Amino acid sequence: MGWRIDLPETGERSILKPSIIAGAALLISTTPASAACSAGGSSGVYTISACSGGHYRKPVYDVNGDGKIDENDKIIVTGVPEPQPPQWHPDPDILFDLLKIGDDGFLQTADGDLKKLDLPGDKRGMFYWRILGQ
Name the residue range of residue 69's domain.
19-117
Q: Please check whether residue 14 lies inside any domain of the structure.
A: no
Burial of 43 (0-12, 13-18, 19+ CB in 10 A): buried
For residue 108, being part of any structural domain is answered with yes
Does a structural domain hold residue 94?
A: yes
| Residue at 109 is within a domain | yes
End-to-end CA distance of the chain: give it in Å, rounded: 12
Pairing of strands 104-109, 114-117: antiparallel
Q: Is residue 8 part of a domain?
A: no
Per-residue confidence in pLDDT tens, the chain, 134 aa = 567 788 888 888 888 888 888 788 888 888 888 887 877 888 888 888 888 887 787 777 777 778 887 877 776 666 655 556 677 777 888 888 788 887 778 888 888 888 887 777 655 555 555 666 65
Asked if residue 104 belongs to a domain, the reply is yes
Residue 5 located in a structural domain: no
Number of domains in the chain: 1
